Amino acid sequence: MSNLSGYAFFDRLLYPIIFLGKQIGLLIPVFIMIFFIVKKIKIKINYKDKKLIFLFFIAVAPIILMFLTSLIMETRIRTMWMTSFYLFTGLFFIYLYQLKIKLRDLTNFIRVFLFLFILSPVLYYFVAYTQNDKRTSYPGKKISQIVQKEWDKNFSNKIEVVFGDGWINGGWYAGNLSYHLKSRPKRAVEIDDDPKIGTIIIKGFNEIKNCNGVVYQIKPFNDICMFGEK
């Protein structure tokens, strides 16, 4: 029992640790740039400074709250969900160390900034080009057109509900398909054993084993199970 409880505890920590590690990794460039203009890291914090408190709550607090959410609910937090909060991280540190900043060191700061500014899109393009299984390379619009064409071949009514198995991959497939289909059907994560007319079930390739409706495969992306009115 002790080993099982240990594994359960590790599983609970896995997603929060991954989330925290990714946040630190993404913020390393900010720390590097700050290092080039701030020589003394130590600073006295004025806890009565309202501006500093405000910047803390819009830059740092969201990361803490999302970490706790992942820890308590055992939820996998996508890194890009935090993108909007990264905008204020640099502002937070600049305000925190404003009296320590040496303007004569701005040249090195600008050089590092330009290097990272160019490096970031180059790395992003390289990953997107070499790894075709990334979501950024998923042809959602094209898949929706194929699904709509197959639906129109087999049924006379419109698509009303798109079901994806769970919130992670299946839910993402369903949301993507729902967004691109012309009827803009609702997305669902739970479905009855006897699906209603006007329903589509979408899963990963070769993941649908039993389907009482019309099955269609889109290689190498998805399996589609359709229930409509002929």
Give domain limits for the chain: 2-135, 139-227
pLDDT over 60 at 180, yes or no: yes
Distance CA 61, CA 81 (A): 14
pTM of the model: 0.54
pLDDT tens-digit readout, 73-103:
877 777 777 777 777 888 888 888 887 777 7
96 token code pair: 């925190």
Reference 180, options 147, 136, 227; nearest CA is: 147
Share of the chain above pLDDT 90, in %: 8
For 30, residues 6+ apart whose C-beta sits below 8 A from its C-beta are: 89, 90, 93
95 token code pair: 């305000």
CB-side exposure of 75: number of CA atoms within 13 Å?
A: 14
169 token code pair: 């991959």
Residue whose pair of structure tokens reads 């594994």 in the numeric block: 7
In whole numbers, what is the pLDDT of the chain averaged over residues?
80
Mean pLDDT of 106-117: 84
pLDDT tens-digit readout, 56-79:
898 888 888 888 888 888 777 777
Mean pLDDT of 25-40: 81
User: Binning pLDDT at 50, 70 and 90, where does residue 191 land?
Assistant: low
pLDDT over 90 at 148, yes or no: yes
pLDDT over 70 at 150, yes or no: yes
Q: Residues, the chain, total? A: 230
Residue 224 belongs to what H/E stretch? strand 222-227
126 token code pair: 């390289």
Distance CA 78, CA 19 (A): 8
